[in-house]
Structure 1
Amino acid sequence: MTTAQRDETHAPGRYADVNGVHLYHETHGEGRPMILLHGGLCSGEMFAPILPALTAKHQVILVDLQGHGRTADVDRPLDMALMADDVAALIDHLGLDRPDVVGFSLGGGVALHTGFRHPEKVGRLVAASAHIRRDAVYPELLAQQGQVNAAAAEYMKDTPMYELYQRVAPRPEDFPRLLDKIGEAMRKDFDFTEQVRALRVPTLVVAADADMAPPSHFVEVFGLLDGGLRDGGWAGEGRPAGGHALAILPGLTHYDIDQSPLFAAVTLAFLDR
């Protein structure tokens, strides 16, 4: 640890060395374990408003993903597949037996990739506000994402994301580096249609009714999981064979769904079925 890094002893959680990443995580509550993954430029702290509801019956493991929160960046791209491998390694490190994995936005993508790549390690999966094709995002937002780079750091100094990073990051001076990496990741084209179609982990697809992608996109994702193709039947016999589900939450956006009691409620309803 260099002199530029903060003293880890002041952090309320612990670190696990996985895949070359010094991965920060906190454990709250007791019960069936749930790994909870934050959005881009944020940390596990973003779930504070709904954490009491989630921990009422679950042990919640908040993870700060590579380069976010209290986890320092390493010399590799910000890639959801690599971060999913970190989550899988953390599951092994903690000795967890098929925990549920819940993620929002970037974390939702990482949760999906954990299900794609390590289905044997996951119980149930919740992916909130996680589009599976880059072109599903509204064009004006894609244009904004294309402008994210280190030069934007100066203009973000009054934002909650910058304040969080300066307060908790091991190397606060790395914020421009994080913007460069996340901007590069957002500019890359992707399409996870076939991976979703092959997903065998029971999955809840969640979105706000005014999200970064239209509700129709998340209905499309549900369709890839055998959902929305027929009547569900009196006994649920027509529901998706894999136990998948869909929730479009009313009155919310990409920027407040993570703190909504509705998100907590549908997550718990799905995990506790």
Structure 2
Amino acid sequence: MIRIATFAAALLMASPAFAQSEPQGQTVTVNGMEMYYEVSGEGEPLIVLHGAYMNIPAMGGIIPRLAETHKVYALEFQGHGRTNDIDRPITYPNLADDVAAFMDAVDLEKADVFGYSMGAGAGLQLAIRHTDKVDQLIAASVSYDVEGWQPAMVEMIPSMSPEMFVGTPMEDAFRELAVDKEGFPALVEKLIALEHEPQAWGDDVARLETPVLIIAGDADAMTLEHAVAMFRLLGGGVMGDMGQPLPASRLAILPATSHTAVINQVDLLHAFIEPFLEGETPKGMF
């Protein structure tokens, strides 16, 4: 999630996408838009949610890797990729409700969810607003409160303007797939507005019973303290080896990793995600 939208996406969209294994692409009507999605792999269902200004190809190699053991449903959000924009603001509750409506449309009663950046925020809101639809949540580069953003991020937000995005790789990538090739300025305005949306979800997070794997870079857009605080809200941070099962939620910090570097570390991400989804824990002495 981290409404890091801007510089994060700029680097991601400029980087080459990994080859994917023949996913099946189609659209379904969701809340007045034609939402594009791709299905790949076999196994338990896993929904993948991209970050701001991104699309399915920009998520890179993690989708085909996850599709080796799961049936992956990769979505493109409102105004992103091949999903058309509609006359509605982009907010985290709206994005979460879109995912819930998508699940209903394709007869998915419940699924695991993996979200990155904006997609992680949408996934977190999905677990809050539609608890019965989320089995387990992997939230990479997520915040639950604006107080958790890095000072540099807070300083950057007021300076954002649509003009900053003109002629960028993000605009080029948008035009490549977009239904409305001239719709980029409208999308930028909505995503800048998203950066200014209030965000204080601590009480909601504390009430969650959904197991959550929090993944963050040690140089991410939220502070390390924020990631730890979220982990504690979910019941984590206790001492193991005391004869009690470990909490269901987990925390993984990627070393030497900025926000935009998180999604490109496919092997490392997969090494954290797969054991979490399978309920595996490292064996200790006790």
TM-score, normalised by the number of residues in structure 2: 0.85
Which segment drifts farther, 145-154 or 55-64?
A: 145-154
CA distance in 2, matches of 1:68, 1:52: 20
1:52 CA drift (Å): 2.7
CA distance in 2, matches of 1:127, 1:163: 28
Deviations 1:209-248 (A, max 9, x none): 11001211100000101111x312255x2522xx111111
Across the two proteins, how many residue pairs are aligned to each other? Answer: 256
CA distance in 1, matches of 2:152, 2:110: 39
Query: 2:258 matched to 1:253?
Result: yes
Unaligned runs of 5+ in 2: 1-22, 280-286
CA distance in 2, matches of 1:255, 1:113: 22
Unaligned runs of 5+ in 1: 1-10
CA distance in 1, matches of 2:76, 2:122: 12
The equivalent of 1:239 in structure 2 is 246
Quick one: which of 151, 155, 158 aligns to 1:139?
151
CA distance in 2, matches of 1:184, 1:60: 30
Quick one: which of 150, 164, 168 aligns to 1:158?
168
User: Which amino acid in 1 is paired with 2:262?
Assistant: I
The equivalent of 2:222 in structure 1 is 213
- The SS at the match of 1:74 is coil
The equivalent of 1:38 in structure 2 is 50
- Contact 2:91-2:197 within 8 A present in 1 as well: no
- The aligned runs of 1:173-184 (5 Å cut-off) are 173-184=182-193
- The aligned runs of 1:94-113 (5 Å cut-off) are 94-113=106-125
The equivalent of 2:41 in structure 1 is 29
- The aligned runs of 1:162-173 (5 Å cut-off) are 162-173=171-182
- The SS at the match of 2:168 is coil
- Contact 1:204-1:245 within 8 A present in 2 as well: yes
Quick one: which of 199, 208, 223 aligns to 2:208?
199
> Identical aligned pairs, as a percentage?
34
- Contact 2:28-2:35 within 8 A present in 1 as well: yes
- The aligned runs of 1:8-157 (5 Å cut-off) are 13-154=25-166, 157=167
Which segment drifts farther, 185-194 or 42-51?
A: 42-51
- Poorly superposed stretches of 4+, deviation over 6 Å: none
Query: 2:231 matched to 1:222?
Result: yes
RCO (CA 8 Å, sep 6+): is it higher in 1 or 2? 2
The equivalent of 1:3 in structure 2 is none
1:12 CA drift (Å): 5.9
